[in-house]
């Protein structure tokens, strides 16, 4: 079943990415695995830029436990894309993101999906609650 195409207006955080020569596959378009890389980069950019998450020294880390992508329109090199990020759900120790990839100045998504981070202690890898400061910083990005 084809999902309803997401629109740019459904997102409040965007991260621009330049596709690279190596992103293309033998068929001349961006390979499907790269879309997940774009999602990962944008979700982490939201954490770093808006929640001051220190990926190198934080006592907690986010592990991806689930992701999906619906491919709606080919991307190619060279192209600058914008990945829209919204938080669909903020759990006790997890964040579920809604993500969509947009070509510049295009209102409809070229790809869309979700991504789930579960936050764990950096050393023990045991699930740990999201700090209140992170919750407060990310609240504006919760989707309605």
CATH homologous superfamily for the domain 8-141: Hotdog Thioesterase (3.10.129.10)
Question: Using an 8 Å Cβ cutoff, are 112 and 100 in contact?
Answer: yes
Give the pLDDT of residue 110.
Answer: 97
**For the chain, which residues make up each domain, given as ranges?**
8-141
3 confidence band (pLDDT: 50, 70, 90): confident
pLDDT in tens, 46-88: 999 999 999 999 999 999 999 999 999 999 999 999 999 999 9
Angstrom distance (rounded) from CA 99 to CA 68: 10
CB 142 within 8 A of CB 86: yes
pLDDT tens, residue by residue, 87-139 = 999 999 999 999 999 999 999 999 999 999 999 999 999 999 999 999 999 99
pLDDT tens digits along 120-130: 999 999 999 99
DSSP-derived secondary structure for 41-72: HHHHHHHHHHH---TTT-SEEEEEEEEEEEE-
């Amino acid at each position: 079943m084809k999902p309803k195409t997401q629109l740019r207006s459904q997102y409040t955080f965007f991260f621009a990415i330049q596709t690279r020569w190596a992103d293309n596959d033998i068929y001349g378009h961006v390979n499907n695995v790269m879309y997940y890389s774009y999602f990962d980069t944008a979700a982490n950019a939201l954490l770093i830029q808006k929640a001051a998450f220190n990926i190198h020294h934080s006592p907690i880390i986010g592990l991806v436990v689930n992701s999906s992508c619906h491919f709606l329109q080919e991307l190619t090199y060279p192209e600058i894309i914008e990945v829209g990020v919204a938080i669909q759900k903020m759990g006790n120790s997890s964040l579920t993101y809604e993500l969509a990839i947009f070509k510049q100045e295009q209102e409809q998504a070229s790809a869309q999906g979700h991504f789930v981070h579960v936050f764990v202690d950096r050393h023990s890898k045991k699930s740990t609650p999201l700090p209140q400061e992170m919750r407060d910083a990310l609240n504006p990005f919760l989707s309605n």
